Amino acid sequence: MKKRFGGIDRIYAWQLATIFIGFIVFGFSENIKGPAIPRIQFDFRLNEGQLGTLLSLNALGYLLACSFTAILVRKWGIKAVSIIAFGSMVLSGVLIALSHHYLSFASSYFLMYIGNGMLEIALAILGARIFVKNTGTMMNLSHFFYGFSSTVAPLIATGLMSVTVFGWTLDWRGMYAVVLALCVVPILTALRSRFPGDDIAHEDRVSLKTLMRDPALWWMVLILSFGVVSELAVGGWLVNFLEKAYGWSTVSASGLLSIFFLCFSLARLLLGPVTDRIGFTLSLIVFAGFSALCTFAAILGGERVAFLFAAAGIGIAMIYPTVMAFIARRYPHGSDTAITFTVTLMGVGSVIGNYVIGAVIEGVKNAFGAESSVGLLRGLQAGYGFIGLCAALSAVCGIVLYRYLKNRQELI
């Protein structure tokens, strides 16, 4: 007989703890850098170009880790790889705290992003293997924990950097060490648990070559890439848009961004059951389309409907976890490979997408007069319009995928 915690199978409880806590520390690790970056730049006397190079190399490390994690999962199993990912985060925190030269810091920071990339894939694979029932609901609930921790991470980072212990102020080095040390908790829960899927024989697993012949996977790559570009770009461009286009104060603009993240988090917490009820493919169309409509309406309606920028978070929040749920259902014996392939290409698309946004703003601004207020406004509107266009293209790709699967009677 299985041991149970309050009616929940004990192993399943440890599995849930590993995933939920894993997403919490993942959100912390990715989003504590905001308050730390200015201090890092000051301490190492980095100019903007050097700082940009540092962050670009870290993004490269992230993508590199995404590309090899599935191979490690097949060789060592998801439990071992998850523990290694969490462990590398703890180690990077210790090394960051001890780094007093730029080279040692850059190496430690790079290791943290390797761990982040491994964690991205490992958590997605864990969810795909464990959430065989109510997949959409559970995937969205898992990603809610990521959204919640991402929202509070800057506040926690700011608070920790001013904490003094035995006469020593933590500052950014100590803050990274403390936050990344939290990864010990999911290591302990993973050690207490067992995860399905590692016992699948090699010959029963779906190969990458086979997966790449499936048009549905390529459409899923496009849906996810366009959706994530739209999602991540809001954090980078919304405050800038509101301040420069409407003259909002930093406090007011940041407040609307916080409301966006609130809508984003609540959507993942509450709307997961909708994806299970109406189907994953249709959900992608509806939610991506809703986000696009809100964004375009906010731009065209002007300052009086700026709240629609925040409402767009309701739709775009659902794209990533719903894609993961789709992959879990469609490729039960190849989810690790499919997730790695999709997320890696998504990362490349995200880098390109954010570059295009900047280029669009500059191009349109110059066309209307680089030094004029009209040129600045039109450039910002065009750039943010591209964010809405990405959401719209995500929905369009979803429609094509829907028709393809419906014709083959393979709708999920």
The tens digit of pLDDT for each residue in 98-117 reads 998 999 999 999 999 899 98
Q: What is the pLDDT of residue 6?
A: 52
Distance CA 127, CA 345 (A): 20
For residue 370, count CB atoms less than 10 angstroms from its CB and return exposed for 0-12, middle for 13-18, buried for 19 or more: exposed
Domain shared by 391 and 242, yes or no: yes
167 or 298, greater pLDDT: 298
pLDDT for the residue 1: 44
Query: Higher-confidence residue: 208 or 106?
Result: 106
Residue 174 lies inside a defined structural domain of this protein: yes
**Domain check: are 178 and 233 in the same one?**
no
Contact 139, 321 (CB under 8 A): yes
Number of domains, the chain:
2
One domain, residues 172 and 226:
no
348-403 pLDDT per residue, tens:
887 788 778 888 888 888 888 777 778 888 888 998 899 999 999 999 999 999 99
Among residues 159, 192, 225, the one where a domain terminates is 192
245 and 387 fall within a common domain: yes
What CATH code is carried by the domain that includes residue 316?
Answer: 1.20.1250.20
Residues 278 and 380 in one domain: yes
- Same domain for 168 and 245, yes or no, is no
Radius of gyration of the chain from Cα atoms?
21
Same structural domain, 152 and 177: yes
**Do 242 and 388 belong together in one domain?**
yes
Same domain for 388 and 281: yes
Residue 140 sits in the same domain as residue 40: yes
Residue 240 belongs to domain spanning? 209-407
Question: Considering 192, 218, 242, which residue would you say is the last residue of a domain?
Answer: 192
pLDDT of residue 9: 79
Which residues lie below 8 Å from residue 312, measured CB to CB, with a gap of 6+?
Answer: 234, 260, 263, 290, 291, 292, 294, 295, 298, 388, 391
Over range 240-262, report the average pLDDT.
85
- Tell me, yes or no, whether 370 and 336 share the same domain: yes
Q: pLDDT band for position 8 (50/70/90)?
A: low
Q: Where a domain ends, among 192, 219, 247?
A: 192
